[in-house]
Structure 1
Amino acid sequence: MSRKTVNVTRSQPGRTTPEPAKHSRAHVPAPGEGKRGEQGYLGYLLRQAHAAVRLKMERTLADLGVTSPQFAVLTMLNAYPGLSGADVARLTFLTPQTVGVIIRNLERDGAILMTPHPVHGRIQQWTLTPRGATLLKACRDRVLELEKRLVTGLDGKAEVTIRRWLAGVAADLQEEA
């Protein structure tokens, strides 16, 4: 733990009086400026972009009563029906505890249905209900608009290159974990 140092002036022997602190605020750059721009670390820029996309997605889906993590769970269950909660957690980068809460809420709302695994009866498998599929479609329509905004200014080749690069980064770094 670092210790604050106080500038003192000696007015009388043995007594110290702190000098008034000088408050200067550093300029916080906006996204796209300084280290938050092209000169920033790639990892930071990815995180910054993710945070901006997630916030925009949260706002886009709010009136549907769906959060960004719930959308991720619905999307994965649509793509891969019959996943266990643990599988969903791995695919959505959420903790098993968070996925447990999301699954309980989506099940309570009638968006997903649990069925026991045919061989391993203790494993619960999750699938979308018709209500869940309808909810996901409404979400996807909005998220696709956001996706279109993300690729504005990119030609098809650049978009493919970026998608390939992002998927490659994830695959390469995952192998090391």
Structure 2
Amino acid sequence: MGEGKRGENGYLGYLLRQAAGAYRHRVERALADLRVTPPQFSVLTMLAAYPGISNADLARLALLTPQTVSTIVANLERAGAIVRQPHQYHGRIQQIDLSETGKSLLAACRERVQGIERHLADGLSREEESALRKWLVRVATSAPR
């Protein structure tokens, strides 16, 4: 990594994938002893941000397939990290919330991931970090030509 086409002269798309893969690997290692995967961390994070969310909405927000979210939710429920209850008006929809165990688990995960996030921004000025964040959002939200 970091040389030839895997370095600064590489294709932007490949470099984005390479960086995302490296980030994911760091997060996997940081959360391994907590027995939490990056997709599970994403689901826990979205549940904290959007309490009572449905599986379908959770899949969209966490950038995961509905099938993957169903498996993650079942595993997190078995571990006591989340609770499900029927929607007040739509009986077939299950609302999902973090349990106290889930909140504690998420707090432990966040502490570790925030360290990785801080490391990502090391050496960047506020302006550079802001420009990078804007560029990443633009990449994610702009329609292909």
CA distance in 2, matches of 1:73, 1:114: 14
User: In 2, distance between residues paired with 1:46 and 1:154?
Assistant: 18
> Residue in 2 aligned with 1:64?
34
Q: CA deviation at 1:67?
A: 0.5
Q: Which has the higher contact order (CA 8 A, sep 6+)?
A: 2
Higher helix fraction: Structure 1 or Structure 2?
2
CA shift for structure 1 position 118: 1.5
* Aligned residues between the structures: 144
Structure 2: runs of 5 or more not aligned: none
**Correspondence list, 1:83-98, <5 A:** 83-98=53-68
Confirm whether residue 168 of structure 1 aligns to residue 141 of structure 2. Answer: no
Correspondence for 1:123: 93
Distance 2:51 2:66 in 1: 18
Q: CA deviation at 1:115?
A: 1.5
Unaligned runs of 5+ in 1: 1-30
Aligned-partner Cα distance in 2 for 1:166–1:117: 35
Aligned equivalents of 1:155, 1:40: Cα separation in 2:
24
Deviation, structure 1 residue 93:
1.7
Q: After TM superposition, what 4+ stretches of structure 1 lie above 6 angstroms from structure 2?
A: none
Secondary structure class of the residue paired with 2:97:
strand
Residue 80 (structure 1) aligns with:
50
Matched position secondary structure for 1:134: helix
> Taking structure 1 as the reference length, what is the TM-score of the superposition?
0.78
In the TM superposition, residue 125 of structure 1 has moved relative to its aligned partner by 1.1
Q: What is the one-letter code of the residue matched to 1:141?
A: E
SS in structure 1 of the partner of residue 142 of structure 2: helix
CA offsets per residue over residues 9-39 of structure 1, 9 Å max, x none?
Answer: xxxxxxxxxxxxxxxxxxxxxx111111111
Deviation (angstroms), 1:54: 0.3
Residue of structure 1 in register with 2:25 after alignment: 55
Q: What TM-score, normalized to structure 2?
A: 0.95
Larger radius of gyration: 1
Counterpart in the other structure of 1:8: none
Q: CA deviation at 1:90?
A: 1.1
Matches within 5 A, 1:15-164: 31-164=1-134
